[in-house]
A and B are shown apart, each in its own frame.
Chain A
């Protein structure tokens, strides 16, 4: 008995600290989400202090649930996370297999491939949206202007001129528009996170059983069958881990959305919280609780998935 009590006693401070660390913010959020709490209100100054007298029940939740972009924010969160996961896993597997074999300069290629991951999210967004995707001053705008110029000059060329005069003038795409801002975020985050997937898959591929592969080759298995029946099952576990870690990170995207579109046609729950947190702390807290619920739902599915691959 005694030799069990002592370690537990020694652990208590750490456990207590952890509990406080987690419980205080969470319970404050819960409390704020049930009261009227705004930072500034000239009509109702009593709402500006967090007091139990301003109890509101589920009123904040009701307000958030019926606010303009709530459902859209959830849909958009899932759309962004889903698309990024899909793209990074596919690109990650392909690139990892491509650079798994030895070739001259492999070290340099690997370093270059991995470097996007070390760019800070805000820098990433600013770079992409202003220097690459901008329809006038960015690479996109310059490239399209250049292509249009070449086609224009070829229209007057002899013999082939008629062919080019059938070509339409290209219009640059605005990636800050309502319809496209989500794609801009998906593009830049995929660019940033594919290296992470590549890194994990590459390490995993190195532990692939070579004897099994040789046996498969002897049995006449082609490259596709090898990939389908040996490599892909082998990558099951790392894929699950990549999906889980990335899902957690991408549910809380903020910087990219702010910089690309300021929430125009593209927002998620963290962004909605940010919008409320300017003044309405009650609503922001209620949104926070919704975000916790959403994250838990996603986590339950992902944990099941990971658990399943670990069991196999």
Chain B
């Protein structure tokens, strides 16, 4: 309850503050504290100069941002004019009427957007959030190590082959572990990787009636393989590793192979890294995920026109050019994974060795609902209950990885928890 009070108080204060400054437009923008967004604060100084619109940045950690923005938007708090949201929230919030549909002018060139990204950020064909950067997943491996061990990794390799390669380069006495994968519990942490992997084994979160399908053979195969692979050839303490932790390990030279977000490639400081499309066990849904951090306008903000104009600028081709020509940045720092035109730039291709692999991974990801996976989203399900289900299952998967529970026990507990949550939400009796 204290939390509610504080929230109410801060909302009131912010409203007072924004009310006082209404004369000259100030947009309050909630952003996730990732590199590209932090850079945006500098690049956007030019926008303020050009238009006179002042920008008030609120930079938050991913989880905190989600919680803040969700409760603010749900209760119509009106704290923010522009919010950063992801692909999981966009279709759900669009359907709930929490965010406004985005319609941009011809200059914006919506068709330049990568189709997979555009589909993932739409609800019933209407764009609800504009992508700031997008990502898929791929294998990032140390070619020097695989060459020395005499193994190769192909695009869309089999999981068995990945395991063989991990075994060949695993050398803990020298401080090199065969493979680093996410293990930290969280629907956006270990479950992002695991869901993509389970997809590749033919598993899914729910059937067409939204009954959880977690205690199935496909899940069991995938999770058993994961626990075995990471338990045998992974670094100790993998149940605590997510993107940032593994990035630190990788750059310390501790990881031979890493399957994670394509965006990681631009942060890798180790020599001899090569890229391959994510492994697949032969399923058409594929094994690479799809994610975008996007910008949306919460319904009910009085400055929605100004907010939309800002988003139109911040996700345009001009913005990408502005980052590329900014003295502090350059083509290596432009937000990727959103527009075809970015990948067509020769300067970008030169600055980003991973560009081709990233584009291919994004283009082959399929967020649409299919018979195999009857919900929108690749490594998540775009329904309001998913974060709750995903976190509960994520903890069980971490317990299986720790060895505190057997894979079967963890999957049974996950299924039971997921059923309870979905039943509570009124999907079935």
Listed in ascending order, the chain A residues whose CB lies under 8 Å from chain B are 25-26, 28-29, 38-45, 47-48, 63, 66-68, 129, 134-137, 141, 145, 171-172, 174-179, 261-265, 275-280, 283, 288
Contacts and interface: CB of A to CB of B under 8 A. Distances in A.
Given A177-B239, A178-B402, A25 B4 contact: yes
Interface string B387-403: 11001101100110011
A264 B399 contact: yes
A280 B5 contact: no
A300 B383 CA distance: 43
A25 to B, nearest CB: 4
Contacts of A141: 236
A184 to B, nearest CB: 10
Given A25-B4, A29-B1, A279-B387, A174 B252 contact: no
B359 interface: no
Contacts of A63: 420, 424
13 contacts: A25-B5, A39-B70, A41-B385, A45-B96, A136-B236, A137-B248, A174-B240, A178-B398, A179-B402, A262-B184, A265-B395, A275-B388, A277-B3
Nearest to B425: A41
B328 to A, nearest CB: 28
A25 B6 CA distance: 11
Given A176-B240, A177-B239, A68 B4 contact: no
B4 A43 contact: no
The 7 A-B residue pairs whose C-beta atoms are closest, nearest first, are A176-B240, A178-B404, A25-B1, A174-B237, A177-B402, A135-B237, A40-B384
B92 A42 contact: yes
B427 A43 contact: yes
Interface string B1-14: 11111000000000
Contacts of A172: 236-237
Interface residues of B, number: 54
Given A40-B384, A178-B404, A262-B185, 17 more contacts: A25-B5, A38-B384, A41-B385, A41-B426, A63-B424, A67-B417, A67-B420, A136-B235, A174-B402, A175-B240, A176-B237, A176-B239, A178-B399, A264-B402, A277-B67, A278-B66, A283-B424
Given A29-B1, A134-B237, A68 B67 contact: no
Contact of B385 (A26, A129, A137, A279): A279
A125 to B, nearest CB: 12
Binding site of A, secondary structure by majority: helix, strand, loop or mixed? loop
B388 A40 contact: no
B7 to A, nearest CB: 11
B239 A171 contact: no
A136 B253 CA distance: 12
B424 A176 contact: no
B327 to A, nearest CB: 33
Instruction: Pick the most buried of A47, A63, A172, A177: most chain B CB atoms within 10 A of its CB.
Output: A177
A176 B184 contact: yes
Contacts of B184: 176, 262
Given A42-B383, A275-B388, A263 B185 contact: yes
Interface in B68-127: 70-71, 74-75, 92-93, 95-96, 98
A263 B186 CA distance: 9
Contacts of B96: 40, 42, 45, 48
A276 B3 CA distance: 14
B191 to A, nearest CB: 11
A145 B4 CA distance: 47
B44 interface: no
B207 interface: no
Given A25-B2, A137-B252, A172-B237, A38 B185 contact: no
